[in-house]
Amino acid sequence: MASKTDIRSLSLEQLTDALTKHGEPSFRAKQVYDWLWAKRAVDFDDMSNLSKPLREWMKETFTINAVEIHDLQISSDKTIKCAMRLNDGYVVESVLIPSGDRMTACISSQVGCSLTCKFCATGKLKRMRNLNADEIFDQVVLVKNLAQEKYGKPLTNIVYMGMGEPLLNYAEVLSSTEKITSPKGLGMSPQRITVSTAGVAKMIKKMGDDGVKFNVALSLHAANDEKRNHIMPINETNSLENLAEALNYFYDKTGTRVTFEYIVFRDFNDTIKDAQELADFCKRVKSKVNIIEYNPIDDGEFKQTTPERLAAFVQHLEKNKIIVNVRRSRGKDIDAACGQLANKNKLAQQELK
């Protein structure tokens, strides 16, 4: 028997076509669409203003491949890491990061990753597949609900900084942001969303052509090609020169300043010379810098820099008039911090297939 179509993979136009062919008035599709996206229904029986025969027909015709929280861990700093089980048994990880009045959802865009960045635990996993827009949307909804249930606060920000490279799943990531920001979806401001990329120059330009409204962050971590090639193989085909050109193109199209993410590794990229290279690169692109402390991973070759070297690095950037913030990692005790998502403790995605 042929598998059922996930109803959430249909556009409103496709849904209207399916329902009118079944003999329903066209406005019925808008009601169903509202249940799926604005009210986040994951069961046809919850669609209470629809007739029972229509709900039964939809159950026979379609499915809703909802994401579920399989397991969660709560850090001593109140960060929550969620293992999200997908319909086909794979697991991705999402994180709720509370910080003052901010409640941030860190969400995944792929099962595993293909980029093999040396400092990232996810990069040690094989990329199994891309996530669909509805699976990305579900992560946000589930983390949003957790923020309300656990801390009584609304979700304020979303970062695509979990597992996977968002720009290698561009169409589904873009579709998910449209659902999240639409008044017919979650209605969140695109300015509350940041998509982080390891640096795919042609897709950065495409974001400019598409006029995206969300924020963009580039995982930089070294401002010379030799060092960046060593830690991020993607740089071999997306050099700093190409990235600078793409980012300036993106800025010209959108007016959005990019954020450079820079993890400081001891004795690798934490000298004053490294800081000057970063400052010089920042002056080529409208940007600001987030300095991130390194979170060790199993068998990693890098170590966290010292507080003194970190302070000197930041001071040198500020002396060069660079906008810089130091981001303190959260959730380290549950492997939920930046670069640590790797599906540990019996939830490895290879085991769940």
Give the number of other CB atoms < 10 A from CB of residue 334: 20
Neighbouring C-alpha atoms within 13 Å toward the C-beta of 115 = 32
Of 92, 88, 76, 85, nearest to 127 by C-alpha is 92
313 close to 322: Cβ distance less than 8 angstroms: no
Rounded to whole angstroms, the Cα distance separating 1 from 236 reads 46
Active site (annotated) includes residue 113:
no
The residue from 117, 120, 282, 338 that is catalytic is 338
What residues form DSSP beta bridges with 194?
159, 215
Q: Residue 29 and residue 24: Cα distance in Å, rounded? A: 8
Note whether 279 and 320 are within 8 A (CB): yes
* Secondary structure of residue 99 in the 3-state scheme: strand
Q: How buried is 327 (Cβ within 10 angstroms: 0-12 exposed, 13-18 middle, 19+ buried)?
A: middle
Q: Which residues pair with 71 in a beta bridge?
A: 83
What span, in angstroms and rounded, lies between the C-alpha atoms of 173 and 207?
Answer: 11
Which is catalytic among the residues 24, 82, 93, 261?
93
In contact, 215 and 193? CB cutoff 8 Å: yes
| Pairwise CA distance, residues 15 & 190, whole Å | 26
Spatial contact of 164 and 131, defined as CB atoms under 8 Å apart: yes
Question: Is residue 338 annotated as part of the catalytic site, yes or no?
Answer: yes
Q: Which residues are part of the catalytic machinery?
A: 93, 338
